[in-house]
Structure formats: structure tokens, C-alpha cells
Amino acid sequence: MSKPWLIPLLCASLLSASACAAVGGEAPDPKTNDKGDGGAKTSVEPEQPPPKLAVELAVASVQVIEDCPDPPEAAPTEAAPTLRADESMAPGVAKPSAEPAAGAARKAGPGFVQPCTQSTMQLTLAVEGDEPQQVRVAAIRLLDKQGKTVGTLSSRKPTAWVDQSYVPWDETVGAEEVKASYKLSLPDWNAVDAAIGQPSFGYMFKLEVDVEIAGELHTLQSPEFPREEPHVIVT
């Protein structure tokens, strides 16, 4: 006995099986980058940050006494006129005397001024490679014996030790070590005395210095140093 009602169900089953076979299995992997290499997967390596610059940096010494006025910038000197071969100084006319050297000692008298001893900070610096790198002193903090900040200072007039003397420095450094010196301002000593609970003369402090080299900030501390009394000459 035939069962005509089974025919529609059988057709539906056959159509469903054909559709599955036509689709053909797994969906493509969206992570596969097929560039004709057999469907091999490729990945992009993350970009590595540039290596940090190797830096040698230290506070060599600190002297905190006074903050002295900066001397005026030296004006360019004009060359003295030269005499022609047929000219000479008139007989009996004395040659003009030379100007006294800058910083020459002055004798005590009505216009005598006590000497001023400038506060300074010395740094030693060097960086890896021959490419010059820019240097900037970003901040200077005065620390008490417990490492607490009790004042701030600022720096100016950078110089470098060259040929047995300090000369103006453009604040660039390479592989060759630079011995640099900065003039320092003074902190608010009244506030410092209140913070440490005693007079600051003779107290041993440290400086904490932020130095920026090639855009990277380095923080370092100085050796201990005292606040010194100003040097006074008794006349």
C-alpha cells in the first residue's frame, strides 16, 4: 500500500541535503590573509619603541653661599688705530695705560665692596654615541635630612670646563664627558628654617635635580652640603 503523504517530506529532505553540499563546509577564516601563498596566515609584529639613550649623569658638587649679581655683558672692543710707518708717537707723550683686568682686586677705601661668593652646582654628563644631545635643567629641589623638599632653586649661566677654565656652554653633550657648572639662586631661607625647625647655617642638605637630555627626564641627587656663611673681609 503506497503512502503518498511521504513524498513531499522525502523531497524536502533531499533538497536540504543538496543545499548543504553546495555550501561546502567551513566559512572562511577572517584572520587568514590569502595572497596566493596557499592560504598561509600572516601577522604584523608590533612596532618596538626606540631604545633609551644611555646616559652618564651625576651632581659632582654643590656650594650654597650667596646669589651674586651677574656682571654686565662685555661690550665688543674696537681695535686701536694703527700708526703708519711714517708716523710715531710724539716725543714726551706717554702711551695710554691699559684698562685694569676684569675682577682685579680693589683696595679698601670709601668705595670698598665686600666680595660675593656665588652659589654653584657642578654636573658631569656624557651620552652614548657621537650625536650631540640637548641638555636642560628642569627643576632643582632642596631636601632636608629626611629627603623632604623644603625649598626650590633655579639655575642659570651654564659653563663647561675647557682648557683649565670655565667657558660659556651651549648645553649640548656627546660621548665625551662634559664638566658643567651652573649658577644657583637661593631658596627662601626663612621658610627653610621653619621647615627644618632650626637655623639653616651648617645644616646638611641635598639637592634633587631633574635634568632633561634628548627629551628624557632624569632625576638625581647631590652629595650632602652645608649652607655656608658669606665670606666677609674685615678692613
Q: Tell whether 218 is covered by a domain.
A: yes
Helix (H) or strand (E) holding 192: helix 189-196
CB 138 within 8 A of CB 155: no
Q: Tell whether 17 is covered by a domain.
A: no
**SS3 label, residue 182:** strand
- Regarding pTM above 0.75, the answer is no
Q: Tell whether 224 is covered by a domain.
A: yes
The 8-class DSSP code of residue 134 comes to: E
Q: Tell whether 193 is covered by a domain.
A: yes
Residue 52: its pLDDT value, please?
A: 73
Question: 225-226 and 204-213 as β-strands: parallel, antiparallel, unpaired?
Answer: antiparallel
CA distance 124 to 223: 13
Q: From first to last of the 235 residues of the chain, give the pLDDT tens digit.
A: 555 554 554 444 544 544 444 444 555 554 545 555 555 566 677 776 666 778 999 999 999 999 999 988 766 655 545 545 444 444 444 444 433 333 334 444 567 788 899 999 999 999 998 789 999 999 999 999 999 999 999 999 999 999 999 999 999 999 999 999 999 999 999 999 999 999 999 999 999 999 999 999 999 999 999 999 998 887 7
Domain assignment of residue 205, given as a range: 52-67+116-235
Nearest to 187 by CA among 195, 197, 177: 195
Nearest to 187 by CA among 142, 145, 155: 142
Q: Tell whether 128 is covered by a domain.
A: yes
Q: Tell whether 13 is covered by a domain.
A: no
CA distance 214 to 216: 6
Cell of 180: 658643567
Q: Tell whether 215 is covered by a domain.
A: yes
CATH code, domain carrying 219: 2.60.40
**SS3 label, residue 38:** coil
- How many domains does the structure of the chain reveal? 1
Q: Tell whether 174 is covered by a domain.
A: yes
